[in-house]
Each structure stands twice: as structure tokens, then as C-alpha cells.
A and B are shown apart, each in its own frame.
Chain A
Amino acid sequence: MVVFKKPHALTETPFHYCPGCTHGIIHRLVAEALEALGLEGSTIGVAPVGCSVFAYNYFNCDMIQAPHGRAPAVATGVKRADPTKTVFTYQGDGDLAAIGTAETIHVGARAENITIIFVNNAIYGMTGGQMAPTTLIGQVTTTTPYGRKNDVQGSPIRVCEMLSTLDGVAYAERVSVDSVKNVLSAKKAIKKAFEIQSKGLGLTIVEVLSTCPTNWGLSPVKSLDWVREAMMPYYPLGVYKDVTKEGEQK
């Protein structure tokens, strides 16, 4: 009996992520979804700037490395060049909700048939722990050493809530990978996003609450607690938009 097998939509390259970081889990979920749907040969992924900048080393599908924040625009170019292909971006919070806010909103406005995997860990990982647009009020980062203050740095952006107001967004769900149960829900959400993309219904986004033990200054286990105790109250899990189930959504 095979207990653990790497999906062939992932390459053999070992992940470079820090211990306790959940990027590896999320990569795996994306790869499993592509594999389950038989899409890896017809998929183009767009990797961002940030910790997952090397995503092109890990996915066994054609990959494009985009400038910081521009992955949705790059993905638009790919999808418009060949609408028959599956296209996804994999973006962090700074990439998606700070430097790339305009690109993010406008792929929603245009109902681009792409899938955004949005990894929200409330901090900048790659550059060493600076404030993210999703950093919580009071959260200490290297650029908010006294804690994020509403009247100085403004309030954190709830991306799924914001994007779900756009007509062109077909599916928006926030998930977490802090527990086995939540990992299974996340897997389901990512698979569903790709299915909706293949139906051509519009933009699909799955926001995944993720950890950053290194820059949070917490152990891997305590980091998972922090996702549950600090992040989830501000970023509630759930489906924010699902055009395949209009009327049932939150």
C-alpha cells in the first residue's frame, strides 16, 4: 500500500521553504488538483516575487516568472494568447494586495478565466518580515516595530470579501491549512477553482491562510495556533462567492 506519494505534477526538486512554512502543503494541493483533473500538460503557472519566487522549480507544468505584483497581468496575456489552456497564478499577500492591487482587481473586473492561489501569511517573508497589506492591527513586524496601527498604516485588506463584490469573480473562498480537516477543505476548494476555470465562468481565487514561523518568531506548532487564534477571527474561512451555487453563498 502506498502511504505517501509525491504527485507527478510536482518536480523532484526539494522545497527550499523554512521549517513549518505551509507553502509546501499549498504547492502540493495545487499539484494534486491539476493531477486529479488531468490538467498538468495543458497548464501554465505564473510564479510571483516573494518566497514562492522559485515555484517554477517545483511544478511540473510550464511556468512563467512574473514581475512583482504583475502575475495577474502576465496570466491575462497567456490566457488571451491561448484560451484553451489552464492558467494559474500563485501569489503572496504583498504581491497580490499591495504592489499588484490594480492587476488583481482588474482580472476580476475582466472576468479573466484564471485561478489565483493567494497565500496570506500577514507578513513579507522573502524580504525578512516587513509589514504586509494583510498584517493585523497590533502585529509586530520589522517595519511596524510598535505594532501595526490603524491610524498610521491603515487596516488590513480582506481580499476575498473585496473581490467578491466584482461581477467578474466566479469563485472566491478562504481556506486554511492549519489542520487535516482544513487541508482537505483547501484541496477541495483549489480543485473546484480549476473546474470553474475550465467552464469559463470568470476569475477564481482561493485565499489560503498560511504561516511564517521564521518571521513571526514562533515555533511551527505555535504558528498554527496563531493562524487559528489571530488570523481566522479577522479573516473568516468560507466561500465568499460561488456562481455555481448562487443563492447559497455567504
Chain B
Amino acid sequence: MSGILLAGFGGQGILFAGKQLALAGMKSGKQVSWLPSYGPEMRGGTANCSVNIEDEPIGSPVVSKPDILVAMNLPSFQKFEDKVVSGGIIILDSSLVGIKTKRDDVNIKYIPATRLADENNLGGLANVIMLGQLLKAYNLFDYAYFGECLMAAAPKSKPQLGELNVKALKIGYEYEG
């Protein structure tokens, strides 16, 4: 049972990353929901999305107490850090957020996803690097299975996008903080 909150700036691919988790959950037979923030805040401001992956039918699509927080900017981290359940997981892009968590009851992984993406010519795929680190920290999905899902989600006209996503996933999965 997982309520996942992904948050960051508009343009970082927050909604895309959330959708990949929901798709992978659906294909593995789980109940899933995906709910984006919407409206003016999407135009360059903060973006977040709630993803539920459950065995039972989903109640609220809003993840108000996340089991997992994927945070890709400082405002998002500050806004949602305290909402993560005790024993929950936080994946933080440390190349964009310079502070550490004040929580001692969560499992937090610091990964410089944006820097790693730039260094590997994977501009714009820091979001998928974050997901790679998430799968390492918590077995939400089998790593190989999720890679297959990313390949399948790429448009047929642009299969190279799937390969780039899988490469980013691998970098995130193999990163040791």
C-alpha cells in the first residue's frame, strides 16, 4: 500500500514520473490513481501529483500523508517534509535542495539527480533518475519490470525516448549516496 507524492517545479517532469508509477501499478494488476495539481501554479510554479498504488479500491486520490515523497525543489520539500508518515521514504534531489531533513523517523535518500542528468547528457530526465533511486530504496516495483514499463510508455515514433528513460533509471538505481 503506497501513497506517493511527487513535487517540484513545473517542467521537471513531475507529472510524467507520477504517471509512469501509476501505469506500472495498473499493469501489475494494482488499483491506481494519479491526481495532478492544476491551474496557474502549473505555469512555471510548483507542480505536484498524488499517486496511489493499492490492493484495495482507492478512496481519496489526494495523498495527504505520503508513504513516499519525491521532492525536486526546496519549496516542495519544506511544504511536504512534515507530512510524510513515520517510517516513510523521502527521495530528495540534493543538487537543487541544499538542506537536510529534520526528521529522524524517515528513510531519506539524497541524490543529486539534476547534476547526474546533466553529466550524462540526460537533460530533463532527473525525474526518472529520482524514480531509479526510489526503486533502490523501496521495492515498489521490480527494477527490470519498471524499465520495461518505461520502454512500453515511449511513443512508437520515438523509441529512443524509452531507452533514454531506462538509462536514467539505471543511473538513479545504481547511485550510492
- The short answer to whether A and B are in direct contact, CB under 8 Å, is no
